[in-house]
């Protein structure tokens, strides 16, 4: 969709003149691009299952395996507390946050498609290295390569989908990324459930199958069209218009193309897009889109469940097979939730989904904490009924997250930035997201050990803060063309004091 910055060369609001039809070409482009989410999802789903497999632990973390089997007179909360083991998960996200800055350069100068292709190659290589790993160093190197792939993919795919989509269905189209992520998680859990029975190399198969979605993404990416926005930004005006006509299914694209050219003119004048992000007029996008939402998406605690669901369930007394089965149920909830969100988010809006789901997530976290505080003791296996209750509560929690903070954490930031700061802004989104993802991955098992059930109360308190942030600071963006979202901030009770003033001429008004 067009990303013009009105007031920077546009001649007014032209979005009502836009025309489009849903074409096969458009559907193909969006499905192929969304495969980038499957890379992220497969790794989210597969890593937690692998780290709970006895064969994997025996080869790389024998101390953790002994602790798991003997309990060593310590609470089950601490069974998996090993920083090198958690580094296996978190190293990928540290690598992703570093690579996203390189991805920003590629995305802006070479196009969104180029970043998608680079990401698929790096992810493929990481899957190969991990599958044949002989020591911890090889494991970490493989994870770093996977992280580079995710950094490029997560930088480019949400932008690609938002730029290709008409405004009225942008929410649903952008959430194809989240749907692919959730399907990747679900498939990974099924694979882990099967490979857990293959001794002693089942875990290698789980890690090596990461090459499959990477291959599909690369082959599909070779036939993927570049977004009209990116082509215009690169000065390829004729090609940009041709692709726009093909994607929209009509020759009548004069208004949208004019906005693209205006946006490109503004973008070309920006030599330092990261520095431009810090300007006063871009502060709402920076605080909401690049800092607040991507950080809060991880602080919900959901990814802790996705990373370590098998580990958590085993820590709470479930057997190995039951743990993997239970985590498969929770990942299935993500797929269902994403389909709900895709169907309804453009009707009910982003704010409603954020706020309603946050209330559910708070209740679920408190319910888990209270149940564990009352029922879970040192070396005591939870009664079957309590175990089933915990699975149901976690299922409801994931269902709430999967239609709110999960997909909207990528959708809303991708909507907010004008073209001149879009690639830089998305890099910040991915960077902040990956910083908090890595920190959660690295710290969760230690926190579970020391805070015990209190970790769930901590997440509940954080979600209260997040919901307050959304209620007061995020304007509703549903069905608003990207090129007009700037006007939402001009009319917002808080943000208008920033965007309605010229920070270059009035530096003394900084707040």
Residues 6+ apart with CB under 8 A from 352: none
Q: How confident is the model at residue 163 (pLDDT cuts 50, 70, 90)?
A: confident
Question: What's the pLDDT score for residue 12?
Answer: 45
Question: What's the pLDDT score for residue 73?
Answer: 45
Q: How confident is the model at residue 320 (pLDDT cuts 50, 70, 90)?
A: low
Spatial contact of 217 and 32, defined as CB atoms under 8 Å apart: yes
CA distance linking residue 225 with residue 188, whole number of Å: 29
Alpha carbon of 367 to those of 317, 375, 388, 393: distances in Å? 18, 12, 13, 8
Alpha carbon of 39 to those of 47, 71, 302: distances in Å? 12, 35, 18
Q: What is the mean pLDDT of residues 235-245?
A: 92
Query: Can you give 245-314 as a three-state secondary structure string?
Result: HHHHCCCCCHHHHHHHHHHHHHHHCCCCHHHHHCCHHHHHHHHHHHHHHHHHHHHCCHHHHHHHHHHHHH
Q: Any idea which of 261-265, 444-448, 475-479, 488-492 has the lowest mean pLDDT?
A: 444-448
The CA-CA-CA angle for residues 147, 149, 155, to 5°, reads 100
Cβ of 62: how many Cβ atoms within 10 Å?
A: 10
Question: What's the pLDDT score for residue 298?
Answer: 87
Question: What's the pLDDT score for residue 319?
Answer: 65
Q: Any idea which of 235-239, 254-258, 273-277, 287-291 has the lowest mean pLDDT?
A: 273-277
Q: Any idea which of 79-93, 287-301, 454-468 has the lowest mean pLDDT?
A: 79-93
Q: What is the mean pLDDT of residues 356-385?
A: 82
Q: How confident is the model at residue 225 (pLDDT cuts 50, 70, 90)?
A: very high
CA distance linking residue 142 with residue 127, whole number of Å: 7
pLDDT of residue 210 exceeding 80, the answer is: yes
Q: How confident is the model at residue 10 (pLDDT cuts 50, 70, 90)?
A: very low
Higher pLDDT, 262 or 119: 119
Domains, the chain, ranges and CATH?
19-224 (1.20.1250.20), 273-499 (1.20.1250.20)
Higher pLDDT, 337 or 427: 337
Spatial contact of 36 and 217, defined as CB atoms under 8 Å apart: yes
Per-residue pLDDT tens for 277-311? 888 888 999 999 999 999 999 899 887 776 556 66
pLDDT of residue 504 exceeding 80, the answer is: no
Higher pLDDT, 18 or 230: 230
pLDDT of residue 382 exceeding 70, the answer is: no
Longest dimension (CA), the chain: 73
Higher pLDDT, 251 or 315: 251
Matching residue, tokens 């959730």: 182
Q: What is the mean pLDDT of residues 198-220?
A: 93
pLDDT of residue 397 exceeding 80, the answer is: yes
Per-residue pLDDT tens for 22-40? 888 899 999 999 988 898 8
Alpha carbon of 456 to those of 353, 366, 426: distances in Å? 22, 7, 30
Q: What is the mean pLDDT of residues 481-510?
A: 71
Per-residue pLDDT tens for 58-81? 999 888 788 777 654 444 566 666
Matching residue, tokens 């090993």: 82
Question: What's the pLDDT score for residue 364?
Answer: 92
Residues 6+ apart with CB under 8 A from 26: 164, 247, 248, 249
Q: What is the mean pLDDT of residues 232-245?
A: 91
Q: How confident is the model at residue 379 (pLDDT cuts 50, 70, 90)?
A: low
Of all residues in the chain, what percent carry a pLDDT higher than 90? 37
CA distance linking residue 432 with residue 458, whole number of Å: 20
């Amino acid at each position: 969709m067009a990303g013009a910055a009105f007031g920077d060369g546009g001649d007014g609001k032209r979005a009502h003149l836009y025309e489009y039809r849903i074409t096969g070409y458009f559907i193909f482009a969006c499905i192929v691009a969304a495969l980038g989410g499957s890379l992220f999802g497969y790794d989210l789903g597969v890593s937690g299952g692998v780290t709970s497999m006895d064969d994997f632990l025996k080869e790389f973390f024998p101390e953790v395996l002994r602790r798991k089997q003997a309990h060593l007179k310590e609470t089950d909360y601490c069974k998996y507390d090993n920083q090198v083991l958690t580094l296996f998960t978190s190293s990928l996200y540290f690598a992703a946050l570093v690579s996203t800055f390189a991805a920003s350069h590629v995305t802006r100068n070479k196009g969104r498609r180029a970043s998608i292709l680079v990401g698929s190659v790096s992810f493929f290589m990481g899957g190969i290295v991990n599958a044949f790993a002989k020591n911890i160093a090889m494991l970490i190197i493989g994870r770093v390569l996977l992280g580079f792939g995710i950094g490029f993919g997560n930088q480019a795919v949400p932008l690609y989908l938002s730029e290709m989509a008409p405004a009225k269905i942008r929410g649903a189209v952008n959430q194809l990324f989240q749907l692919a992520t959730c399907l990747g998680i679900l498939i990974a859990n099924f694979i882990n459930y099967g490979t857990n029975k293959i001794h002693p190399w089942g875990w290698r198969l789980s890690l090596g199958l990461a090459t499959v979605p990477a291959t599909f993404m690369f082959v599909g990416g070779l036939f993927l069209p570049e977004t009209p926005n990116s082509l215009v930004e690169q000065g390829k005006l004729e090609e940009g218009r041709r692709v726009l006509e093909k994607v929209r299914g009509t020759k009548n694209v004069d208004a949208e193309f004019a906005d693209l050219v205006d946006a490109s003119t503004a973008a070309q004048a920006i030599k330092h897009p990261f520095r431009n992000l810090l300007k006063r007029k871009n502060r709402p996008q920076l605080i909401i889109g690049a800092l607040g939402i991507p950080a809060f998406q991880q602080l919900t605690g959901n990814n802790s469940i996705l990373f370590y669901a098998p580990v958590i369930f085993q820590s709470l007394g479930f057997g190995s097979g039951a743990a993997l089965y239970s985590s498969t149920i929770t990942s299935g909830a993500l797929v269902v939730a994403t389909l709900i969100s895709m169907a309804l988010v453009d009707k009910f809006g982003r704010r409603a989904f954020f706020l309603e789901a946050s209330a559910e997530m708070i209740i679920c976290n408190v319910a888990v904490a209270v149940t564990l505080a009352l029922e879970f003791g040192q070396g005591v296996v939870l009664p079957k009924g309590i175990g089933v209750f915990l699975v149901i509560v976690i299922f409801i929690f994931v269902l709430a997250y999967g239609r709110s903070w999960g997909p909207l954490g990528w959708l809303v930031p991708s909507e907010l930035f004008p073209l001149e700061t879009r690639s830089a802004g998305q890099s910040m989104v991915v960077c902040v997201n990956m910083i908090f993802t890595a920190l959660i991955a690295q710290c969760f098992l230690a926190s579970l050990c020391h805070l015990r059930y209190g970790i769930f109360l901590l997440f509940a308190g954080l979600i209260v803060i997040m919901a307050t942030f959304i209620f007061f600071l995020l304007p509703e963006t549903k069905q608003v063309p990207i090129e007009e979202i700037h006007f939402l901030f001009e009319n917002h009770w808080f943000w208008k004091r920033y965007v309605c003033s010229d920070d270059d001429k009035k530096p003394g008004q900084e707040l």
